[in-house]
A and B are shown apart, each in its own frame.
Chain A
Amino acid sequence: MTTALLEARDLSIHKGLRQLLKDVTLCVEPGDLWQLAGGNGIGKTSLLRSFARLASIEVYGDLSRCDDVLYIGHSAALKGAMTPRQNLKYHPSGLCTPTDTEIEEALAAVGLAGYENALTARLSAGQKRRVALARLFLPSGRLWLLDEPFTALDVAGVAILEQRFTAHAQAGGAVVFTSHQSADLGGLLNVLDLEQFRGD
């Protein structure tokens, strides 16, 4: 029984006729923070989605992973016609009954106290991203797979997120995220440069 939250061995990812990545190997232990780095189009999102098992048809190789996973993709999965409170309460990932207090605390933690009952459609892009990230402050999975989580966040938002990552790792969880920017996570960060796995 391995303690690793995610273990990928010789993973290769294809897209149609192209081979995006090959021989990807990664082991994510509790307490790890991993950034998947690489230029545009190299396959960061595809790799992350294969970890999430959202992409599996063109993924070859060994992948084992715990079940306690939280995934936030490019799109925020927010309904403009609902309020942030409702978006979190009825989240399609099955956030299992966050209480109203928990929701308020989570929204406050991302700096959106007072916006619980605003229409999500009226929020700015950055604010919407914060609502999406509020999930990270609710009872959530051990393994976080986040696609470009820092997009649209201002400096304050970035700081909140970085702190949250560190706290999560210290509590025994792990974060794997893709990003163009380098995050300041105080040396705890492992960077996996995908250039070394570029396919043929």
Chain B
Amino acid sequence: MWRIIHQFGSPPWVYRFCDKVIPWLMPITIGALLVGSVWGLLFAPTDYKQGDSYRIIYIHVPAAVVALAGYYVMALAGLVSLVWRVKLADTAMRAAAPIGAAYTAIALITGAIWGKPTWGAWWVWDARITSMLILFFLYVGVIALFEAYENKTVAARACAILSLVGTVNIPIIYKSVDWWYSLHQPASIKFTGSSAIDASMLYPLLGMIITFYALFALLMMLNLKQSLTEEYAQSAWLNKRLAA
């Protein structure tokens, strides 16, 4: 167990791993993204209730799902850094934050795009979207905290603590927003109905969710590789590798 953590925490090992995985993950992910988007946006059947405007969920839902998961990835990296003092975990946490924030922003924007034709307003204070907005602020908070400290090693420690606090609070926030929404909204509008979703719509949706996860991993690896290149620019193992 200790050996595994040590291995994951070893910069040369992680760098090699990224180098091995990125060359094939990148084309697959981009390909899957293209296929999934086209399928969902153009070829999936028209919804009988919402017409064609619902198609944006093929971007919106995967973005929202991975945005939330991304926060937990970030907090997990923070935890590893706090408990096992693995420096690479700091770098991973730093890599995850802006990617997660971008996903949340995409979820919010696509949510608005969905909202306009469906309910006539660019912004509707629905439970899901409101929770997503708060998640966005949580991400922004972590990034802002990191930028505020000059000493980046200490900054990472502070961000680890903040992400863990956020992690504990996220379920509470989501539940309380649900509760708030259930009282105030007369009509029961649901973005993702718990009602049965047809297989012809479900499969592309699931596919896109998996693709978005893969994209997250890909972006993380690219970011990690970049950070490692900067951080270890002077060290022997990196220069040997780049020369090879």
Contact = CB atoms under 8 A, between A and B. Distances in A.
Interface residues of B, number: 6
B194 interface: no
A16 B149 CA distance: 11
A103 B157 CA distance: 40
Nearest to B85: A57
A50 B57 CA distance: 53
Contacts of A58: 151, 153-154
Contacts, number: 12
A14 B154 CA distance: 11
A16 B154 CA distance: 8
B116 interface: no
A16 B157 contact: no
Contacts of B157: 57
Contacts of B151: 15-16, 58
Interface string B150-186: 1111100100000000000000000000000000000
A71 B150 CA distance: 26
A57 B152 CA distance: 11
Interface in B47-84: none
Contacts of A15: 151
A178 B150 CA distance: 26
A15 B150 CA distance: 10
B152 to A, nearest CB: 7
Contacts of B153: 14, 16, 57-58
A50 to B, nearest CB: 14
B93 to A, nearest CB: 15
A93 B153 CA distance: 28
Contact of B150 (A14, A16, A57): A16
A14 B157 CA distance: 15
Centre residue among B150, B152, B153 by max chain A CB count within 10 A: B153
Nearest to A17: B152
A31 B244 CA distance: 58
Nearest to A16: B151
Contacts of A57: 153-154, 157
Interface string A6-50: 000000001110000000000000000000000000000000000
B146 to A, nearest CB: 14
Interface string A161-175: 000000000000000
A14 B150 CA distance: 14
Contacts of B152: 16
A15 B157 CA distance: 14
Going nearest first, the 6 A-B pairs with the smallest beta carbon separation are A16-B151, A58-B153, A57-B154, A57-B157, A57-B153, A16-B152
12 contacts: A14-B153, A15-B151, A16-B150, A16-B151, A16-B152, A16-B153, A57-B153, A57-B154, A57-B157, A58-B151, A58-B153, A58-B154
Given A16-B152, A57-B153, A57-B157, 9 more contacts: A14-B153, A15-B151, A16-B150, A16-B151, A16-B153, A57-B154, A58-B151, A58-B153, A58-B154
